[in-house]
């Protein structure tokens, strides 16, 4: 009987069938091109269809009804924020005390609020404030957070430690509480203090995520290889690390946009956010709450608009996350 | 384990001072700490100067902060606008808010976890989709809107509850406010539990448990849930602090005389001692809750405990 | 070599398993037949995606359904078709009569329960023992798989053990109730080369002691030679060759087996280029017509592209699913 070709003590790793496949695969295809398709290694091979993360995500999104609906709602909101007069001909600041708290009537489908202002017009104009606050705060948060977090993650060391401590401090302050304290001393009636406050308390969240994903990306083999080949820091950050860290930041920022709108309304409801004459759902809700008993319509319309807006952004963020991170499905 | 606890304790010290310093600066530098002391009028310059000297406000800010913190650690939080000690206000306000928070946490645990487990085990079924949709809506509607609507429906229209809570604030009065306070977190707990259960139900060790011939119930309770609930428990723990801070809104809607109410009064009357005092305690609670969660995490997950 | 012909312990007959995937129905197992006698060791060989693990999971009853679905066949174990049993009856078979050893012990063991609890659980659930007795049993088992200082380590968690020790714990768990069949799914693949042999030897030794049947799933031909009685080679969800272990090394009767053997590096052929089977394993959603191996086969002719080869009888109780098995055997 011949000796089987097996030497347990040999240091050569046993290359069985698996090895044979790997070798065979070098004939023109990279492993990434074989989508892990079916369950447990039903190795599907589809040559010539290399898909990137983004095109793959986009293909998924276009078919996702949640994405389409929330995208349409957001598009509508953006349009009426830019040109509210498209669907509301009145002036949100033009009020007639004589009609205060009156209900729905021709030409005024949502009725009047406590000051006799047209609720429909104010609800439409309120979108502009909410969208402005949401978009500006998110841009600020994303910019500050990803730059600070990304650099800390990339360079590590003392900068990273310092940033981590600073983010800890900001996480130590409950948001609504902080808003109450910080904004109560401000008398400006513009949207900027509120945006500034949200950026101030919001950036650490994005910074943590950006830091985490940069650290993960940095450890990828090809980034290590680029480093070994002498790529400069700037080049590595731009070409290799950033593209991988962008996806999670986008996802979190989209969802955060919704929550910022909600936060603005909450602060305005508490009386420390936006102040009249700014037209905001939060202000209107705050004004309406004492009259809930007699004139619930004053509360319901802006509340509905607010809820739909926040919902649209959160659903959009959810859909984008599902598309970018198939693992979570 | 011991070293881990000490390291975490040391870590929260700078965070505590950083956060309280931030608050202190906001109130005392950007605001006007003596504005509330002369009643509704503006203080005349002579009185203002006297008051400033009396409260040490003519000293550099860092010195003021250190003095204040020194007082705080001896249990002196100063006096509120009406001459009451801030600590007395705390003694009446905190029990109410703590009760409210506990009611909210109970809702999160009972409703949130059950819904999460049920949906996590039935992914893609109608129950799952339905619950998921409801949680999305709950997350999207700001808490104060949920609160106002529930107050309108249950309190005003149907008369199931009293629209505002009495000063005794008993637990049964706090049920609806507690649900309102919990609502957003409740939705998060549901989603988190669902994801965690669904993810873990595909884990190798669950398959091992099945292969061992364990009954389905035991596979779920002992193997699947024991692992899936670790992130959920930590979320709920962190939420204790966040809920107490966020209770302001709920307390305002239902007119509950808790921490949020006192804080609000403090802000309205520009009583900086009240505001800084309450916020300092809340930040401390928030940080301690987070610390406790980290320790809990280590207890629940041996991989951390023995790392 | 195998004694006489003992009674069959397990017989898989014409098993078919499908998976629903995003790209369509993947036919993971397409009519597999194999038998394991009591005390016999069958090695099932194949690349990943050949259906060897799926077949084992179907036997064990731990297939993920959905997306998996058993579309046909029988799994006769100790005279009963397991596929006809109710879930609660099936559950009593698992662990007690047949047990499984998984590839990656670190993920297959529960990270938050001590190894003692996980081992003892077998006795608590199946034998109704008290937790204290079960713990003693766990220590006994750990001794048996030669884990040093078992009594001290019984309360430790999986991540505190080395890879080899963890795999020993998996083996201990499978042996706990002395089942008559053990399925080992690549039990040594995740281990260091130096530890592989120790773990494999331990498994083989304990199997002998307890006279259990063993299905050893592997893609490593080297592991098989010392341990197995018979080999079944799988490709694209079918058995393409089955034979007693040493015959296959001497003279494979299927070009795929031949390719596998030639791709093993050998110490006596240093400096030669390593052989590789050309092409890729088939996409299970679109398995090639005729013989699934034909696109990669050096012997392929027109008939291979159209006719699915049956498992031809080859002398000495062997089988080969190749139209040209004689050529493969003698070529």
Q: What is the pLDDT of residues A188-198, one digit of tens each?
A: 778 888 898 89
DSSP C101: E
**Closest partner CB to C26 (pick from A8, A10, A42):** A42
Instruction: Report the candidate in B214, B197, B306 with the shortest Cα–Cα distance to residue C173.
Output: B214
Chain A 271-310, CB below 8 Å of chain B: which residues? 272, 285, 289, 292-293, 296, 299, 303, 306-308, 310
Q: Which positions ≥6 away from C27 have C-beta within 8 Å?
A: C16, C17, C18, C237, C284, C285, C287
Contact: B283, A303; criterion CB under 8 Å:
no
Contact: C94, B230; criterion CB under 8 Å:
no
Residue A5 touches chain C, beta carbons under 8 Å? yes
Residue C330 touches chain B, beta carbons under 8 Å? no
Residue A36 clears pLDDT 60, i.e. is over it:
no
Residue A7 clears pLDDT 60, i.e. is over it:
no
Burial class (CB in 10 A: 0-12, 13-18, 19+), A9: exposed
Residue C147 clears pLDDT 80, i.e. is over it:
yes
- Helices marked H in chain C: 52-60, 87-93, 105-108, 115-127, 131-144, 150-153, 163-175, 193-210, 221-227, 245-250, 255-262, 302-306, 325-330
Q: What pLDDT was estimated at residue A30? A: 32
Q: Which chains touch B (3 or more CB pairs under 8 A)?
A: A, C
Residues B291, B238: Cα–Cα separation, whole Å = 9
Q: Are B89 and B262 in contact (CB under 8 A)?
A: yes
Q: Are B228 and B240 in contact (CB under 8 A)?
A: no
Q: How confident is the model at residue A39 (pLDDT cuts 50, 70, 90)?
A: very low
How large is the average pLDDT for residues A12-28? Answer: 31
- Residue B31 with chain A: CB contacts under 8 Å: 184-185
Contact: A43, C280; criterion CB under 8 Å:
yes
Q: Are B184 and B239 in contact (CB under 8 A)?
A: no
**Closest partner CB to C265 (pick from A9, A12, A34):** A12
Question: Which of C60, C61, C91, C182 to mutate to test binding with chain B, by most B CBs within 10 Å of its CB?
Answer: C91
Output helix, strand, coil percentages for chain C, rounded to the nearest 5. 40, 25, 40
The three-state secondary structure class of C270 is coil
H/E run at residue C16: strand C8-21
Residue C157 touches chain B, beta carbons under 8 Å? yes
DSSP C94: B
ipTM field: 0.85
C194-204 per-position pLDDT tens digit: 888 888 888 88
Q: In what order do the strands lie in the sheet with C238-244?
A: C98-101, C181-185, C213-218, C41-45, C230-235, C238-244, C318-320, C312-314
Locate the chain B residue with the closest alpha carbon to A315: B136
**Residue, of A9 and B148, whose pLDDT is higher:** B148
Contact: C160, B306; criterion CB under 8 Å:
yes
Q: Which residues of B touch C (CB under 8 A)?
A: 202-205, 207-216, 218, 222-223, 226-227, 230, 300-303, 306
Residues B293, C111: Cα–Cα separation, whole Å = 19
A265-298 per-position pLDDT tens digit: 888 888 887 877 788 888 888 888 777 777 777 7
Q: Are C301 and C257 in contact (CB under 8 A)?
A: no
Candidate from A92-106, A135-149, B280-294, C163-177 with smallest mean pLDDT: A92-106
Q: How far is A146 from chain B (nearest CA, A)?
A: 22
Residues C283, C28: Cα–Cα separation, whole Å = 10
- Residue C217 with chain A: CB contacts under 8 Å: none
Q: What pLDDT was estimated at residue B117? A: 92
Residue A23 touches chain C, beta carbons under 8 Å? yes
Q: Are B293 and B238 in contact (CB under 8 A)?
A: yes
φ, ψ of residue B143 to 5 degrees: the values are -50, -40
Q: Are C187 and C203 in contact (CB under 8 A)?
A: yes
Contact: A328, B195; criterion CB under 8 Å:
yes
**Closest partner CB to C21 (pick from A6, A24, A38):** A38
Locate the chain A residue with the closest alpha carbon to C275: A20
Q: How confident is the model at residue C2 (pLDDT cuts 50, 70, 90)?
A: very low
B157-196 per-position pLDDT tens digit: 787 777 777 777 677 788 889 999 999 899 999 999 998 9
Q: What pLDDT was estimated at residue A45? A: 38
Residue A269 touches chain B, beta carbons under 8 Å? yes
Q: How far is A37 from chain C (nearest CA, A)?
A: 7
Q: What pLDDT was estimated at residue B32? A: 64
Q: Which chains touch A (3 or more CB pairs under 8 A)?
A: B, C
Residues of chain B with pLDDT below 50 are none
Locate the chain A residue with the closest alpha carbon to B29: A185
A10-14, B9-13, C209-213: which has the highest mean pLDDT?
Answer: C209-213
Residues found in chain B? 307
Instruction: Report the candidate in A267, A251, A263 with the shortest Cα–Cα distance to residue A314.
Output: A251
Q: How far is B279 from chain A (nearest CA, A)?
A: 7
Residues C255, C300: Cα–Cα separation, whole Å = 10
- Residue C109 with chain B: CB contacts under 8 Å: 205, 208
Residues B268, B271: Cα–Cα separation, whole Å = 8
Q: Which chains touch C (3 or more CB pairs under 8 A)?
A: A, B
Residue A32 touches chain C, beta carbons under 8 Å? no
Q: What pLDDT was estimated at residue A326? A: 52
A245-272 per-position pLDDT tens digit: 787 888 888 888 888 988 888 888 888 8
Residue A30 touches chain C, beta carbons under 8 Å? no
C282-312 per-position pLDDT tens digit: 888 888 888 888 888 888 888 888 888 888 8
Locate the chain C residue with the closest alpha carbon to A6: C222
0.95 surpassed by pTM: no
C238-268 per-position pLDDT tens digit: 999 998 888 888 888 888 988 888 877 766 6
C234 DSSP β-pair partners: C239
Chain A 131-160, CB below 8 Å of chain C: which residues? none
Contact: B149, A307; criterion CB under 8 Å:
no
How large is the average pLDDT for residues C316-329? Answer: 86
Q: How confident is the model at residue A328 (pLDDT cuts 50, 70, 90)?
A: very low
**Closest partner CB to B212 (pick from C64, C112, C122):** C122
Average pLDDT, chain C: 86
Residue A31 clears pLDDT 60, i.e. is over it:
no
Q: What pLDDT was estimated at residue A52? A: 67
**Closest partner CB to A173 (pick from B22, B152, B195):** B22
- SS3 track for chain A: CCCCCCCCCCCCCCCCHHHHHHHHHCCCCCHHHCCCCCCCCCCCCCCCCCCCHHHHHHHHHHHCHHHHHHHHHHHHHHHHHHCHHHCCCCCCCCECHHHCCCCCECCECCCECCCCEEHHHHHHHHHHHHHHHHHHHHHHHHHHHHHHHHHHHHHCHHHHHHHHHHHHHHHCCCHHHHHHHHHHCCCCCCCHHHHHHHHHHHHHHHHHHHHHHHHHHHCCHHHHHHHHCCCCHHHHHHHHHHHHHHHHHHHHHHHHHHHHHHHHHHHHHHCCCCCCCCCCHHHHHHHHHHHCCCCCHHHHHHHHHHHHHHHHHHHHHHHHHHHHCHHHC
Residues C292, A72: Cα–Cα separation, whole Å = 48
Report the percent of chain C where pLDDT is more than 70. Answer: 95
Residue C169 clears pLDDT 90, i.e. is over it:
yes
**Closest partner CB to C277 (pick from A7, A24, A46):** A24
- Residue B299 with chain C: CB contacts under 8 Å: none
Question: Which of A12, A14, A51, A323 to mutate to test binding with chain C, by most C CBs within 10 Å of its CB?
Answer: A14
**Closest partner CB to A173 (pick from B19, B30, B246):** B19
Question: Which of B122, B202, B212, B296 to mutate to test binding with chain C, by most C CBs within 10 Å of its CB?
Answer: B212
Q: What pLDDT was estimated at residue B115? A: 93
Contact: C125, B213; criterion CB under 8 Å:
yes
């Amino acid at each position: 009987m011949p000796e089987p070709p097996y030497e347990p003590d040999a240091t050569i790793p046993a290359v069985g069938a698996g090895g044979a496949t790997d070798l065979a695969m070098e004939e023109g295809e990279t492993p990434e091109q074989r989508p892990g398709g079916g369950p447990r290694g039903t190795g599907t091979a589809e040559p010539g269809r290399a898909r990137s993360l983004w095109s793959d995500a986009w293909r998924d999104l276009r078919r996702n009804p949640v994405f389409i609906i929330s995208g349409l709602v957001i598009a509508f909101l953006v349009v009426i924020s830019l040109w509210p007069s498209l669907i509301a001909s009145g002036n949100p600041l033009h009020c007639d005390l004589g009609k205060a708290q009156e209900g729905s009537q021709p030409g005024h489908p949502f009725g009047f609020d406590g000051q006799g202002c047209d609720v429909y017009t104010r609800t439409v104009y309120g979108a502009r404030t909410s969208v402005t606050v949401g978009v500006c705060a998110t841009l600020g948060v994303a910019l500050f957070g990803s730059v600070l977090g990304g650099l800390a993650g990339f360079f590590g060391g003392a900068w990273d430690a310092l940033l981590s401590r600073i983010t800890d401090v900001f996480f130590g302050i409950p948001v609504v509480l902080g808003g109450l304290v910080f904004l109560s001393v401000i008398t400006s009636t513009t949207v900027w203090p509120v945006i500034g406050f949200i950026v101030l308390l919001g950036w650490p969240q994005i910074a943590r995520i950006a830091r985490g994903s940069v650290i993960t990306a940095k450890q990828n083999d090809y980034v290590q290889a680029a480093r070994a080949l002498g790529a400069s820091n700037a080049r590595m950050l731009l070409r290799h690390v950033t593209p991988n860290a962008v996806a999670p930041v986008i996802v979190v920022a989209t969802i955060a946009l919704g929550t910022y709108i909600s936060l603005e309304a909450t602060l305005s409801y508490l009386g420390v956010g936006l102040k009249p004459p700014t037209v905001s759902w939060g202000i209107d809700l705050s004004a309406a709450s004492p009259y809930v008993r007699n004139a619930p319509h004053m509360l319901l319309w802006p509340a509905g608009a607010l809820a739909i807006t926040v919902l649209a952004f959160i659903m959009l963020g959810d859909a984008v996350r599902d598309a970018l991170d198939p693992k979570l499905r | 384990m011991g070293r881990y606890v000490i390291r975490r304790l040391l870590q929260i010290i700078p965070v505590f001072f950083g956060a309280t310093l931030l608050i202190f600066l906001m109130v005392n530098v950007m605001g006007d700490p003596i504005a509330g002391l002369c009643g509704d009028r503006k203080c005349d310059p002579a009185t203002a100067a006297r008051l400033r000297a009396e409260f040490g406000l003519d000293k550099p800010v860092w010195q003021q902060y250190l003095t204040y913190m020194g007082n705080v650690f001896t249990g002196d939080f100063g006096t509120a606008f009406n001459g009451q000690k801030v600590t007395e206000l705390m003694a009446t306000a905190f029990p109410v808010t703590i009760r409210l928070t506990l009611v909210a946490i109970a809702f999160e645990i009972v409703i949130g976890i059950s819904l999460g487990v049920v949906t996590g085990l039935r992914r893609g079924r109608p129950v799952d989709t339905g619950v998921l949709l409801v949680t999305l809506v709950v997350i999207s509607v700001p808490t104060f809107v949920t609160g106002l609507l529930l107050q309108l429906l249950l309190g005003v229209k149907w008369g199931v509850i009293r629209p505002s809570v009495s000063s005794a604030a008993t637990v049964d009065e706090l049920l609806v406010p507690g649900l309102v306070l919990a609502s957003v977190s409740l939705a998060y707990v549901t989603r988190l539990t669902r994801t965690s259960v669904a993810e873990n139900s595909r884990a190798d060790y669950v398959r091992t448990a099945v292969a061992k011939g364990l009954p389905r119930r035991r596979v779920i309770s002992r193997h699947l849930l024991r692992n899936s609930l670790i992130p959920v428990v930590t979320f709920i723990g962190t939420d204790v602090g966040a809920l107490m801070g966020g209770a302001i809104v709920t307390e305002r809607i239902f007119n509950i005389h808790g921490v949020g109410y006192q804080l609000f009064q403090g802000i309205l009357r520009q009583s900086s001692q009240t505001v800084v005092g309450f916020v300092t305690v809340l930040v401390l609670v928030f940080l301690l809750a987070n610390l406790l969660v980290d320790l809990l995490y280590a207890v629940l997950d041996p991989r951390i405990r023995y790392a | 070599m195998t004694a006489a012909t003992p009674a069959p312990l397990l017989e898989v007959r014409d098993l078919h398993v499908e998976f629903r995937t995003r790209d369509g129905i993947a036919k993971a197992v397409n009519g597999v037949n194999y038998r394991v006698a009591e005390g016999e060791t069958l090695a099932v060989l194949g690349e990943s995606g050949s259906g060897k693990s799926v077949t084992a999971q179907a036997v064990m009853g731990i297939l993920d359904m959905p997306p998996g679905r058993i579309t046909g066949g029988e799994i006769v174990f100790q005279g009963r078709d397991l596929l006809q049993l109710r879930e609660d009856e099936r559950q009593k078979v698992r662990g007690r009569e047949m047990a499984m050893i998984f590839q990656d012990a670190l993920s297959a063991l529960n990270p938050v329960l001590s190894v003692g609890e996980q081992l003892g659980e077998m006795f608590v659930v199946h034998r109704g023992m008290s937790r204290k007795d079960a713990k003693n049993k766990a220590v006994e088992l750990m001794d048996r798989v030669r884990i040093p200082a078992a009594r001290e380590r019984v309360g430790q968690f999986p991540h505190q053990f080395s890879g080899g020790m963890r795999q020993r714990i998996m083996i201990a768990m499978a042996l706990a109730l002395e089942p008559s069949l053990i399925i080992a799914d690549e039990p040594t693949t995740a281990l260091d080369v130096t530890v592989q042999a120790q773990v494999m030897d331990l498994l083989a030794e304990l199997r002998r002691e307890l006279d259990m049947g063993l299905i050893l799933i592997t893609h490593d031909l080297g592991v098989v030679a010392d341990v197995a009685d018979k080999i079944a080679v799988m490709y694209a969800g079918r058995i393409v060759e089955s034979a007693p272990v040493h015959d296959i090394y001497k003279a494979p009767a299927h070009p795929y087996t031949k390719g596998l053997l030639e791709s093993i590096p050998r110490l006596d052929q240093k400096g030669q280029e390593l052989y590789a089977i050309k092409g890729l394993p088939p996409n299970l959603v679109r398995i090639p017509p005729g013989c699934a191996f034909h696109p990669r086969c050096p012997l392929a002719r027109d008939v291979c592209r159209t006719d699915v080869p049956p498992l031809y009888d080859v002398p000495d109780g062997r089988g080969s699913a190749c139209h040209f098995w004689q050529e493969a055997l003698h070529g």
